[in-house]
């Protein structure tokens, strides 16, 4: 009978435990971020993660802080995402509505081919600023689980509302219009 | 009428041009590349993925194949679009380094464990030869002989 303390048992257990640790670490680091939703549910406005991404078709990254002082409707999308097609005309309409009042829609095209994204923008007549996150690395910090998802950021760079799914006029009116009245 | 043979030659040359171009084109294949890159949304190799993003990635690869790009050129183009994470073979930094370190570590641990086990087993006399069976008594030998003869009949 093999005893638990025997070298054979220890030699067999050590790698198995090591693998288990590795698996647990992998699961832990790949969990979606849910801090934003929890803070909003508690009535707080968490600071938006410091996003640094290039504009679509460019290489030099720009920071989300470049839009500090504006109300930003940060919209994650991709040209291969069917709900994003339905949502785009609404976002463009709202861009025209909020731009004169110190707001902007800011798109983040993620996990997408640049030429496909450009074709999509031409097709739907999108002319709001667009960032590109080719490998989708930024989405983990916003806790993205799908496309599209939208974050409404106030003039002080804090997330005031989130929509995990397509936005509609009711959400935009409820979440964006009051922020336009706030001072930075 | 001398123009007729010239026209035939031109037509032949034009007919051969696509074949020549095709021969010069490095034949990258979609299934081959699919096994070497990832579907980033699904987190599995592209050849196992069936999602809108995977389809778009396949379209991109097919467009590059149509433009006569080689496998390495297509992979480089994919990296420029999606970043290095698109490659099925991950880089050797951060958590991804585990992909390279763990198998080597497991091999070392396994070899060490086996060596330890052999030493432990031999120190407990596990390797000693089994004792020989006792010799048959003459009566038993006769009975065995009789039984064997009966079975052979």
pLDDT of B123 strictly over 90: no
Q: Report the CATH number at residue A145.
A: 3.40.30.10
A109 contacts A56 by C-beta, under 8 angstroms: yes
Please give the CATH number for the structural domain made up of B28-89. 1.10.8.640
pLDDT of B73 strictly over 90: yes
A18 contacts in chain B (CB < 8 Å): 102, 105, 109
Q: Which residues, other chains included, contact B76 with Cβ-Cβ below 8 Å and sequence gap of 6+?
A: none
Domain count, chain A: 2
Residues A84 and A64 in one domain: yes
B-facing residues of A in 105-164 (CB < 8 A) are 111-114, 116, 134-137
The reported pLDDT for the residue numbered B128 is 61
3-state secondary structure of B48: helix
The two tokens of residue A172 are: 């935009």
Q: CB-based contact (8 Å) between A7 and chain B?
A: yes
Residues A53 and A15 in one domain: no
Residues A12 and A40 in one domain: no
Residues A54 and A8 in one domain: no
Q: Average pLDDT for residues B128-139, to the nearest whole number?
A: 77
- CA nearest A129: which of A53, A46, A48, A50? A53
- CA nearest A68: which of A162, A163, A157? A157
The reported pLDDT for the residue numbered B97 is 76
Rounded-to-integer distance, Cα A24 and Cα B126, Å = 38
Helix axis angle for A7-29 and B98-123, nearest 10°, is 160
A29 contacts in chain B (CB < 8 Å): 95
Give the nearest partner residue to A29 out of B82, B95, B121, using CB atoms.
B95
In this prediction the pTM is: 0.70
Residues A27 and A39 in one domain: no
What tens digit of pLDDT does each residue of B9-67 get? 555 555 555 555 555 677 789 999 999 999 999 989 999 999 999 999 999 999 999 99
Interface test with B, best of A4, A5, A11 (most B CBs within 10 A): A11
The reported pLDDT for the residue numbered A7 is 65
Q: Has the ipTM of the complex gone over 0.95?
A: no
Q: Which residues of chain A have pLDDT under 70?
A: 1-8, 11, 15, 26-33
The reported pLDDT for the residue numbered B101 is 82
* Residues of chain B by 3-state class (helix, strand, coil), percent to 5: 70, 5, 25
Interface test with B, best of A27, A80, A109, A117 (most B CBs within 10 A): A80
Q: CB-based contact (8 Å) between A14 and chain B?
A: yes
Q: Please, which pLDDT band fits residue B98 given cuts at 50, 70 and 90?
A: confident
Residues A11 and A58 in one domain: no
Give the nearest partner residue to A113 out of B81, B95, B120, using CB atoms.
B81
Residues A75 and A160 in one domain: yes
Residues A63 and A126 in one domain: yes
The verdict on a CB contact (< 8 Å) between A8 and B82 is: no
The verdict on a CB contact (< 8 Å) between A12 and B113 is: yes
Residues A25 and A40 in one domain: no
Residue with token string 């003039």: A155
Q: Note down the domain range covering A77.
A: 35-181
Residues A81 and A151 in one domain: yes
The reported pLDDT for the residue numbered B1 is 46
Task: Check residue B37 and report its DSSP letter.
Answer: B
pLDDT of B90 strictly over 80: no
């Amino acid at each position: 009978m093999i005893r638990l303390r025997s070298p054979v048992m220890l030699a067999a257990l050590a790698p198995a435990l090591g693998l288990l640790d590795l698996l647990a670490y992998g699961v832990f680091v790949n969990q979606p971020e849910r801090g934003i939703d929890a803070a909003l549910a508690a009535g707080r406005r968490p600071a938006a993660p410091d996003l640094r991404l290039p504009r679509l078709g460019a290489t030099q990254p720009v920071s989300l802080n470049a839009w500090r002082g504006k109300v930003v409707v940060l919209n994650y999308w991709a040209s291969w995402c069917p709900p994003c097609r339905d949502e785009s005309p609404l976002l463009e309409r709202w861009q025209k509505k909020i731009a004169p009042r110190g707001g902007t829609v800011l798109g983040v095209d993620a996990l997408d081919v640049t030429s496909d994204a450009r074709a999509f923008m031409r097709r739907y007549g999108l002319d709001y600023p667009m960032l590109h996150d080719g490998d989708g690395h930024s989405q983990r910090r916003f806790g993205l689980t799908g496309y599209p998802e939208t974050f409404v950021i106030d003039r002080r760079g804090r997330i005031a509302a989130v929509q995990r799914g397509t936005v509609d006029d009711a959400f935009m009116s409820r979440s964006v219009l009051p922020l336009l009245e706030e001072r930075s | 009428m001398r123009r007729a043979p010239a026209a035939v030659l031109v037509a032949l040359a034009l007919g051969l041009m696509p074949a020549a171009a095709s021969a010069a084109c490095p034949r990258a294949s979609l299934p081959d590349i699919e096994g070497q890159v990832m579907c980033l949304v699904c987190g599995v190799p592209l050849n196992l993925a069936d999602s809108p993003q995977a389809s778009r990635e396949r379209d991109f690869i097919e467009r590059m194949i149509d433009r006569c790009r080689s496998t390495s050129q297509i992979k480089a183009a994919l990296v420029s679009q999606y970043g290095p994470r698109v490659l099925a073979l991950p880089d050797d930094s951060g958590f991804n380094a585990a992909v390279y370190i763990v198998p080597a570590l497991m091999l070392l641990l396994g070899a060490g464990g086996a060596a330890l086990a052999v030493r432990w087993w031999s120190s407990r006399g596990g390797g000693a030869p089994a004792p020989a069976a006792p010799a048959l008594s003459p009566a038993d030998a006769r009975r065995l002989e009789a039984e064997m003869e009966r079975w052979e009949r």
